[in-house]
Amino acid sequence: DGGITQSPKYLFRKEGQNVTLSCEQNLNHDAMYWYRQDPGQGLRLIYYSQIVNDFQKGDIAEGYSVSREKKESFPLTVTSAQKNPTAFYLCASSIGGYPYNEQFFGPGTRLTVL
């Protein structure tokens, strides 16, 4: 089955620790994205990558880092510099390019920092 997987579904970390969220896709998509969702809010873009070894900051990149070493994988690290990391994190991917390519979303990871 083609799709996007995110693991784990729930993640707990102590304050001050870095944590890495996994996102893998087998759709052969070039572009991948990370969004953050807070209660009562829509999704906000953290980082995106349109090709391997390249990525750009979104609207709320501070305190986060990413890598894109493989086409299939786009892990997100939430660093200790992120002031309020508790949130729901969604990964998405698309074929990339113009004019229109639907973004497909993974099931998400709920991160709770204690």
Partner 1 sequence: AQTVTQSQPEMSVQEAETVTLSCTYDTSESDYYLFWYKQPPSRQMILVIRQEAYKQQNATENRFSVNFQKAAKSFSLKISDSQLGDAAMYFCAYRRRDRDDKIIFGKGTRLHILP
- What is the bridge-based pairing of β-strands 10-13 and 109-113? parallel
Q: Decide whether 73 or 101 has the Cβ nearer to partner 1.
A: 101
Of 23, 46, 90, 111, which lies in the binding site for partner 1, with binding defined by CB under 8 A? 90
Integer Cα distance of 100 and 114 in angstroms: 40
Of 50, 67, 73, 86, which lies in the binding site for partner 1, with binding defined by CB under 8 A? 50
Contacts (Cβ under 8 Å, ≥6 apart) of 57 = 47
- Work out whether 43 is an interface residue with partner 1 (CB under 8 A): yes
Instruction: Kindly report the backbone phi and psi dihedral angles of residue 66, in degrees, each rounded to the nearest multiple of 5, phi listed first.
Output: -140, 170
Q: Decide whether 31 or 80 has the Cβ nearer to partner 1.
A: 31
Integer Cα distance of 52 and 37 in angstroms: 25
Q: Decide whether 80 or 104 has the Cβ nearer to partner 1.
A: 104
For binding to partner 1 (CB under 8 A), which residues are involved? 31, 33, 40-45, 48, 50, 56, 58-59, 88, 90, 92, 94, 96-103, 105, 107-108
